Structure 1
């Protein structure tokens, strides 16, 4: 069977930040996602942050002083990338190899979108296929959101 690298990007506005944070940091009591094995959630990690963060506060901090115009109420605040690979490929890698895969993806996104814009890089090891959610605040070099 062929193996594929997978990357998908979704744009999030203010109304999605809280739910995204709760999902990525496993802050909920119950989830609609039946694929999450709560007994394995302790294996999850974030390559950017050492501890859970408030996405709304972190976005606000990144925007302050860098974005020149008033932020619109309907502005895209986070571009979230989902990074994984074919299940057979990901599950065939050792934990160390999986971590290197995710670190290489973060390095690529830092080069493309600036490390200063990185918000989180949360790896989920508690679902069927290991995957990573990377949040980037889309601030351009000339100070636009």
Structure 2
């Protein structure tokens, strides 16, 4: 997963060309220049690798020998478990890996951190100047031997693997968070659907309530009209409610305003029959008998209509 190389000053320009893709003519045949645009430079100071390298060497002591290992490079490849995850998650892995290396070797010593997506396997090139503090001479100096000790190399992969474990746990937590978000979104959609149903039911109830109010107002209007008519025509100041209801039904029968509801028709029949049996009724008995016959005939028609409809469905 991770590979270390120690480099001399003379190798730096060539490494910079490779890391930063300063040419389209590569000796490495695995490089797909059509994908180079996806590569990511994690150093965001606007400079380049060679400039950073020279600047850092100017700040510290380095022996003037050609064989001095003045630059160290780590190659960290993308773990297999992240091979199929979205680009954003791979990008986050490499950014976190750079932070791990910065913390280990000093961010001030880093001169390059480039992610290559244009080769077979995505990987990070991390380059840094191996710097230590020389307590004897009270200065910082370049020393790959003292920075990249056997202990450092022995613990590096273990530390990086622990770092991977943390990332894996972070990934699991992220996936769980994503699942929770999807579940919440699904539940929210269900709630929205239920709310839409409630709103639809509310509109139906509102409409039914309005119809009921209209019906009650109509009944009250007929009631008042009946009372005024009786008062004006017959000189009667008071009348039973049952007579008013019966007269309203007779009025509807006279004007052929027939109900299509069998239950309502049965209610009409009951009201007319009650008025017919009331000795104090002011309605002519013959007129009540006529009304009762009309409603009975209406009920019979409604029953036959329902029976014919049922037969049609059964066929």
TM-score range, shorter chain: 0.7 to 0.9
Aligned counterpart for 1:144 among listed residues 118, 132, 141: 141
Q: Which has the higher helix share?
A: 2
- Per-residue deviation at 1:48? 1.3
In 2, Cα distance between the equivalents of 1:64 and 1:50?
18
RMSD: 1.8
Report what 2:52 is aligned to: 58
- Per-residue deviation at 1:37? 0.8
TM-score (norm 1): 0.85
Report what 2:72 is aligned to: 79
TM-score (norm 2): 0.41
- Kept in 1, the 8 Å contact 2:78–2:90? The answer is no
In 2, Cα distance between the equivalents of 1:52 and 1:29?
21
Q: Which has the higher strand share?
A: 1
Radius of gyration: which is bigger?
2
Aligned counterpart for 2:88 among listed residues 92, 96, 112: 96
- Kept in 2, the 8 Å contact 1:117–1:138? The answer is yes
Could you list the runs of 5+ residues in structure 1 that have no partner in the other structure? 1-5
Could you list the runs of 5+ residues in structure 2 that have no partner in the other structure? 135-139, 143-315
**Residues 24-72 of structure 1: CA deviation (Å, up to 9, x unaligned):** 11112311211111011011111114556151x32221021322x5443
Report what 1:115 is aligned to: 107
Q: Secondary structure at the match of 2:132?
A: coil
- Kept in 1, the 8 Å contact 2:116–2:123? The answer is yes
- Per-residue deviation at 1:141? 3.0
- Kept in 1, the 8 Å contact 2:110–2:129? The answer is yes
Aligned counterpart for 1:133 among listed residues 111, 125, 137: 125
Q: Which runs of 4+ in 1 moved over 2 A?
A: 49-52, 69-73, 88-91
